Each structure stands twice: as structure tokens, then as C-alpha cells.
Structure 1
């Protein structure tokens, strides 16, 4: 296999073929001739020493090596496009912002393993930019961005605010968190239903918590029974759970990050799956934010389903 750098033009043609499932449609998408796209894919296969697409299928499908390369291609092309945007910003008259850190807000565990993957990818791509990590509580679902405390935010669910735009990163099954001694804990990984959790004493959140977040916490039923305990962080939720004073809800990956002794994590089999998002300001003009967003979205396309455990049929 060649050790020369990968040609982004070849990667672009290859990825278009994979996504379109057809050499002709890929050529039309790229404004190239079909022979040119075919040549690009063949050159890439020669350089890598392996077949990347199975031409016998209809539509054309990637080989196992092609599937693996497609994920890398998305990340590399996203980074390339973001770099071009950054340079366009750099040469714009009056452009500034040198030395400004990128402030990354994370609510709870963010988008599970995708959160550190995106941050590390950005740090590798932009080692000269300082990254500041800021932990967000439940009430900062939107305000951390709109009040300019962070530049990007890993949140859930998607904000309902015209000042903010958000990209879906992961989509996961919902869970409830209860004490191990709770009768509901016996459901284990078999799961429970929304009816089973109707009487749980869910923790309270402050009145200024955004409505989309409270809808998420209480499975869309604002009138659910409430504990007397308030919580604005996962740690406060878990403290209430293991002391038997409250119950919590979250995404399935919550159990991987907060496996506290005394807490049980029970899937809710009939609750709609919920997504984590990367949110930014709608009028954001900081090129570093666009670079981070492009990398996170590209990684989500490559890793998101695996992290989510989403095996539902399309």
C-alpha cells in the first residue's frame, strides 16, 4: 500500500459513489464525467491495494474496506471544507479573533463517546487553538449559548429556540434510574414501560429550565409525580436515586458513564428514542465553531450508530 498522502479529489469521488450507489449519479453530483469518477476510484484502490466498491451489485456497494474508508473520508473532507472556510475568514478584511479559546459546553456526558472523539479530533486539527471545557447544568440548555458562555454545546434534546441551531449526533433508547432496591429494578435489561414508571417520584428542576428539557425528563408528561428533591446535574440526580428520594431519566449511555453503586438503569421499551445534539448560535461567525461542528457531524455519521446501539430497521 502506498504511503503517499490521500488525494482529496479521489476521496470525494469515492465517497460520492458510496453515497449515490452509482458511478453515473456520483459523476453528476460532482460535475465530472463518469469515466473520470471511475478512474478516481480505481486509482484509490491501486494506492490502497484493495477493492473499495463492489461493482457487481446494484446499487454499487462498498466492500468492508470501503465502508471503513468512507468513515475516514467524511471526516477528512469535512475538515478540508472547514479549513477552506477558515482561510476565507482569515483573509477577510478586519478578520480577528486570534488567540481566542473555543469554549465547549457539555451537559452531563454529552453525546457519550462521540464527545471526547470530537474534541480530540478538533485538537488534532487545530492544535494552536486553546479548548476550554465547561460543564453545563440542566437549566443551561439554551442560555449557555445565547448568553455567550460557550461557543458550542453538547445538549439534549434539541433546543427549540430560533437563536440556536443543532445537529443530531446520537439517538438512543430512553432509561429510568431507580434505586437497586426498587421493584422496578428487577426489570433489568428486559425493560419496563411508560405505564410502569408513571408513579415514580421524578426529581424536580428549577422553574426556568427550558420546556423541551422538562418534556424530555418527564417523557412528555409535565404532570408526572415529583419528588421534593431538586436536581440540575447528573450527580445530583444519582444522589437522590441512591438515597431513595427521587428517580431520574436519561439516555441508555447514561449507565456507562454514571454506574454508581446502588443505582439501577432500566430501559423504557415503549418510549420514543431521543437524540443528543451539538448546538451553536444561529448567527455564529467564528470559523473555529464551524470547523468543530463539521468534524463532530462527520464523526457522528461514522460513529454515531455504533455509540447509540441503534439497531432499529431503517
Structure 2
């Protein structure tokens, strides 16, 4: 396996062959000769030490080729975003000797496995840019961006703020978190309905928590009861749950990231599925933000947005 950076020209030729299913059509699309495209793919296979394409009876990607195609789409999307952002730039700003970090905010576990995948893809694409990662609580659904404390944020649901724009990354079934001794815990395999959870003592959140998040947390106000405990993080929710003082809600992947003894995660079968989002400031012209956004969206498209 090569340790040097992958050549974007080679990736572009390889991806064109994958998408066209034919070396000649890929060459025409790229305005290259078929021998040049063939040479690019062979060089890539040599550098990676593995066969990427089956040549007969049809041109199709091998398992290694399928995996590389996903990375290629993400890297090429990031490159295109960078070029687009830099195209109309005037003379570069004076070098201060320091590169501004990209500040990433994550609410809970973000967009499940797509969160670390996006961060790692950005690290590989832009190794010279430092990252600052911070945990966001429920009240920072949009304020962390609006107040310029982070540059990108993994949140749910989509912020209702014209100063923020967001891309849906994953879509999942809803769940409730209840104590193991709860009457609803036995339904963890079959699920419950929104009506079943309407009277659960859900955790309270501070009054300045954005309305979209409280509607999400309480299933659009279906849960009219509130327990005595306040919570602004998943950990605080689960602490109240295992103590038998409250219930919480989340996405199905919540159970994979917060498997606490004493807490049971029950699907809410008739609740609308909910998405997690990558949110950014609507007027942010930072090219690094656009590169990160392009990578995350490309990975979401490649990996599939729906988590079951």
C-alpha cells in the first residue's frame, strides 16, 4: 500500500471508468486518450497494490475498487469546493505564521459513524489545518454557530434560523430511553407508539433551548409530563434514566454510543424518522468550511443516509 498522497488525476480517471463502465467513454468524458486513462488506472493499482477493476466480461469495480470509489468521490468533491472558493480570491492575505483552526462542534454523538468518518477524511485532505473539536449541549443547537464559537456543527434536528444552513447526513428511527424496570422496557424488541410515551416523565431542558430541539426531544410536545431533572447532554439524560427519575429520546444509533447498564432503548414505531445535520453559518465564506461540508455530504451520499 502506498504511503504517498493519492494523485487526484489518477482518482479522476479511475472514478470516470467506474461511473462509465468503459475505458473509452471515460476517456471521452475527460478529454483524454483511452491509453492515458488505462495508464492512470494501472498506476493507481500499482501504488495501492491491489486490483481495482475487473476488465471482463464488463468493466466493473472490485471490492477494493468499490471502497476506493467512495474515497475518490469525497476527495474530488473537496478539491472542487476548494478550487471554487479560491477562484475569485484576490491576492492572498499576509501570512501571519499561523493557520486558523477549523472549529467543529458535535451535539451528542453527531451523525453516528459519519461524524468520525468526515473528520478523518478532512484530516487526510487538509493535514495542514489544525482542528478544534468541542462538545455542544442541547441549548447550543444553533447558538454555537451564530455566536461564532464553532465553524461547523453536527446537530439535530435542522436549525430554524435564517443565519444557519444545514445538510441532512443521516436519517434514523426514533427511540426512547427508559429505566430497565420501566413497563415499556419489555417492548424493546417490538417497539411502542408516540401515544405510549406521551406520559413519560421526560427530562427538562432550560427555557432558552431552541424550539426545534424541544419539539424533537418531546415528539412535537407529545410528552406533556416532565420529570424533576434538567439535562443538556446525553450523559445527563442517561444519569436520570438509570436513576429511574426520567426518560429521554434520541435516534436509534444512540443505543450504540450510550449503552449504559440500567437504560433500555425502545423504538417508537410510528414517530417520523429524524435526520442529523451538518450545520454552518449561511454567510460563511471560509473555504475550509466548504471543503469540510463537501466531504461530509459526499460521504453521506456514498455511505447511505439511512441508518437502520
Given the two structures, how large is their TM-score scaled by the length of structure 2? 0.83
- Matched with 2:234 is 234
Rate the CA distance shift 1:3–1:114 in 2: closer, same or farther, 3 A: closer
Deviation at 1:117, TM superposition (A): 2.2
8 A Cα contact 2:172 2:252, kept in partner: yes
8 A Cα contact 2:73 2:298, kept in partner: yes
Deviation at 1:144, TM superposition (A): 0.5
Rate the CA distance shift 1:223–1:168 in 2: closer, same or farther, 3 A: same
Distance 2:307 2:55 in 1: 27
Q: Secondary structure at the residue paired with 1:182? A: coil
- Matched with 1:68 is 67
8 A Cα contact 2:202 2:223, kept in partner: no
Q: Secondary structure at the residue paired with 1:120? A: helix
8 A Cα contact 2:195 2:222, kept in partner: no
- Matched with 1:295 is 295
Distance 2:62 2:217 in 1: 41
Instruction: Identify unmatched segments of 5+ residues in structure 2.
Output: none
Q: Secondary structure at the residue paired with 1:135? A: strand
Q: Secondary structure at the residue paired with 2:278? A: strand
Q: Deviations over 1:255-314 (max 9, x none)?
A: 111111110011122222111111110110222212222222222233355xx534xxxx
Given the two structures, how large is their TM-score scaled by the length of structure 1? 0.81
Deviation at 1:214, TM superposition (A): 1.3
Matched residue count: 302
- Matched with 1:52 is 53
Deviation at 1:230, TM superposition (A): 1.8
Q: Secondary structure at the residue paired with 2:195? A: coil
Distance 2:126 2:258 in 1: 31
- Matched with 1:309 is 307
Rate the CA distance shift 1:227–1:19 in 2: closer, same or farther, 3 A: farther
Q: Secondary structure at the residue paired with 1:69? A: helix
Q: Deviations over 1:132-162 (max 9, x none)?
A: 1111111111110001111111101111211
Query: What does 1:151-300 correspond to in 2, within 5 Å?
Result: 151-221=151-221, 224-300=224-300
Distance 2:18 2:226 in 1: 50
Greater Cα shift, 16-25 or 130-139: 16-25
Rate the CA distance shift 1:226–1:295 in 2: closer, same or farther, 3 A: same
Distance 2:307 2:136 in 1: 25
Distance 1:113 1:19 in 2: 26
8 A Cα contact 1:14 1:40, kept in partner: no
Instruction: Identify unmatched segments of 5+ residues in structure 1.
Output: none
Q: Secondary structure at the residue paired with 1:280? A: strand
Greater Cα shift, 6-15 or 158-167: 6-15
- Matched with 1:130 is 130
Greater Cα shift, 221-230 or 290-299: 221-230
8 A Cα contact 2:231 2:237, kept in partner: yes
8 A Cα contact 2:26 2:37, kept in partner: no
Deviation at 1:103, TM superposition (A): 1.3
RMSD over equivalenced CA pairs, Å: 3.2
Distance 1:123 1:233 in 2: 27
